Structure 1
Amino acid sequence: MERMTDSVFVVDVPLRWGDMDAYGHVNNVTMMRVLEEARIAVFGVPPSSGEPVEQAPKIPLFEQLESGVQALVVENWVKYRAQLAYRGLPAKVEVRIVGVKPATITVSYELFDASTGEHCVSGTTTLAFFNTNTGGLVRLTKDQRSMLEEHRAS
């Protein structure tokens, strides 16, 4: 489930029993997958990834990419603030667009324990747009930049 409030998209990302590690909390590496799932819930499934999902993305950026253009992760940053125990509840992830440049966007995340409200993870991802046919970066179109700026967190 996703909700948006003033340029903040709140995404509930289901956790799996197998996400827990030997220490009894959700594994730190798994957190990157949870953040990725939240990002996909906001932007949608990239067109090169197979069949589209039934639920429309909140920001249809990936649907607007030309054939052969991919959004590639060029940088991830994460800060672990608290352990997230597996409780059978989805993690609550706040997703914001915090940077829009000619050929990249930066997305921030704040992950919370749905049971306690504790702030467990902060992170960012920078995506670059790459043309697999030419081997070069692709600049966002004026319309794409406008759409992203409309949802950019202030």
Structure 2
Amino acid sequence: MKEGAKLIHTSRIPVRWGDMDAYGHVNNTVYFRYFEQARCEWIEQMGFPVSPREAAGPVIINASCTFFVPVNYPATLVIRMHAGEPGRSSVMTWYELFVEGQDKLYAEGAAKIVWMDNATGRSVPLPEAIRALFDAAAG
């Protein structure tokens, strides 16, 4: 995670039995869903519906995950979402994945969010409300 990143959201997500794979732990692809859920919760809590029917909204242009310790069912995950200084139309986000009640970091990830005009597919400036939240966090 980048130095200076700000904690912006914490999400709690139960691990489902179906999240596991043949090896008996959460499948690597599911971690991206956990990060996505935290990201969507954060965006919607700020008052921006995550919907293609909106004129503009967030998309991600890249995503990554590093796996440190396998997660097994049953568990409740704690996802801590952090963000860096916003650019014109984008903001970098980072994720830390813990199992509730443990201090051990199970995985970490990253995703770059770009605000996009849904009709044209082109980037547009981040909404002022998002910038204001970062300005308030920096103060």
Q: TM-score category by the smaller chain?
A: 0.7 to 0.9
Q: 1:108 aligns with which of 88, 94, 99?
A: 94
Contact 1:74 1:127 in 2 (8 A): yes
* SS, match of residue 71 in structure 2: coil
Counterparts in 2 of 1:46-125, with a 5 A limit?
Answer: 57=45, 59-60=46-47, 62-63=48-49, 67-87=54-74, 89-125=75-111
For 1:35, the equivalent position in structure 2 comes to 35
5+ residue gaps, structure 2, are: 1-5
Counterparts in 2 of 1:19-34, with a 5 A limit?
Answer: 19-34=19-34
Residues in 1 aligned to 2:54 and 2:25: alpha-carbon distance in whole angstroms? 40
1:9 and 2:9 are equivalent in the alignment: yes
* SS, match of residue 22 in structure 1: coil
5+ residue gaps, structure 1, are: 1-5, 45-56
Moved segments of 4+, more than 6 Å: none
TM-score by length of 1: 0.74
Structure 1 residue 8, shift from structure 2 partner: 4.5
Quick one: percent identity of the two aligned structures?
23
Contact 1:97 1:151 in 2 (8 A): no
Residues in 2 aligned to 1:135 and 1:84: alpha-carbon distance in whole angstroms? 36
For 1:47, the equivalent position in structure 2 comes to none
* SS, match of residue 85 in structure 2: strand
Q: 1:44-99, CA deviations, whole angstroms, 9 ceiling, x for partnerless residues? A: 1xxxxxxxxxxxx1x33x25xx9421211101021111111112x32111111123
Stretch deviating more after TM superposition (118-127 or 139-148): 139-148
* SS, match of residue 60 in structure 2: strand
Distance 1:9 1:142, change over 3 A: closer
Contact 1:19 1:30 in 2 (8 A): yes
Residues in 2 aligned to 1:136 and 1:113: alpha-carbon distance in whole angstroms? 38
For 1:144, the equivalent position in structure 2 comes to 130
Residues in 1 aligned to 2:137 and 2:73: alpha-carbon distance in whole angstroms? 32
Contact 1:99 1:107 in 2 (8 A): no
Residues in 2 aligned to 1:69 and 1:133: alpha-carbon distance in whole angstroms? 8
How many residues are matched? Answer: 132
* Pairwise CA RMSD: 2.4
Residues in 2 aligned to 1:139 and 1:149: alpha-carbon distance in whole angstroms? 16
Q: 1:138 is aligned with what amino acid?
A: V
